[in-house]
Amino acid sequence: MADPSSQSASASADLPGAGRTAVVTGASSGIGAATARRLAAEGFDVVVGARRVDRLTALAEETGARALPLDVTDPASVDAFVDALDRVDVLVNNAGGAFDAAPVAEADLGSWQRTYEVNVLGTVRLTKALLPALVASGAGDLLFVGSTAGLISYEGGASYTAAKHAVHTLAETLRLELFDQPVRVVEIAPGMVKTEEFTLNRVQDREKAEAVYRGVREPLVAEDVADCIAWALTRPHHVNVDLLVVRPRAQAAQHKVHREG
């Protein structure tokens, strides 16, 4: 009779991510947590990083991932995180957020600075630190969770729009700079994604946050984006998904959204 544990190990070895280590930042909620779950299901050894260690611990217990505290805005935290890693094949730069929806004329420069620290400088900081490991893996993946806000401008909340434009440019630039290295550079740019915290953090009002999605039939959820991330990362390594824009069917463009009722 076959050993069940042996059969399980054999099945795991057949999964697309088997033998590869994937780091997911901002993994304590939303797209990051959904991505960690999906990549673990695909056989990746997942390392999750975020500031809220209690949530990370619960996610690690659920998925078998390894949880490490990480604040991408803190160089010492990034150094400690990187030092704790033995190898990295995949980096999913997901940590980010929007913190206001103000027009430029009413810009809160503190909010702008916070937005850039998390979305841009934090992303650059961790990317720079882990890039040698991605190259050394011989088949590295550097994935950025961008936004359609980084592809087209619109009024209100320019701090986030500008930051995501920077992330888009960062991905494009790295693809040019790494053209002769064994590292793919992928950007996933979601449109409307209904997650628990993102919009509330941006508008600071629960009623206004709920109004953003009111009447929208089936907005995207975090698992939809995680599905796109997993698909891009599990293509044969000679296939590079430069940019994947994903919106709910109800959102034809940034400002053209069908709302029922």
Please choose, from the candidates 48, 92, 135, the residue with its C-alpha nearest in 3D space to the C-alpha of residue 234. 92
Under a CB-based contact definition with an 8 Å cutoff, are residues 220 and 191 in contact?
yes
Between 260 and 247, whose confidence is greater?
247
Q: pLDDT tens across 46-93, in order?
A: 999 999 999 999 999 999 999 999 999 999 999 999 999 999 999 999
What are the residues facing 68 on neighbouring strands? Answer: 49
For 211, the enclosing helix (H) or strand (E) is: helix 206-212
pLDDT at 10: 52
Average pLDDT on 224-229 reads 98
Please choose, from the candidates 142, 31, 32, 19, the residue with its C-alpha nearest in 3D space to the C-alpha of residue 90. 142
Query: Is 160 an active-site residue?
Result: yes
Q: pLDDT tens across 3-56, in order?
A: 654 444 555 788 999 999 999 999 999 999 999 999 999 999 999 999 999 999
Report CA torsion sign: 134, 187, 42, 26.
positive
Which one of 116, 154, 160, 213 is the catalytic residue? 160
CA 248 to chain centre: 18
Is residue 196 over pLDDT 80?
no
CA–CA distance, 59 with 194 (Å, rounded to integer): 20
Is residue 205 over pLDDT 70?
no
Average pLDDT on 217-229 reads 95
How sure is the predictor about 2, in pLDDT bands with cuts at 50, 70 and 90?
low
* Domain residue extents for the chain: 17-257
User: In the CATH scheme, what is the code of domain 17-257?
Assistant: 3.40.50.720
pLDDT at 200: 57
Please choose, from the candidates 25, 27, 64, the residue with its C-alpha nearest in 3D space to the C-alpha of residue 44. 64
Q: pLDDT tens across 101-160, in order?
A: 899 999 999 999 999 999 999 999 999 999 999 999 999 999 999 999 999 988 888 999
3 state SS for 230-261? HHHHCCCCCCCCCEEEECCCCEEECCEECCCC
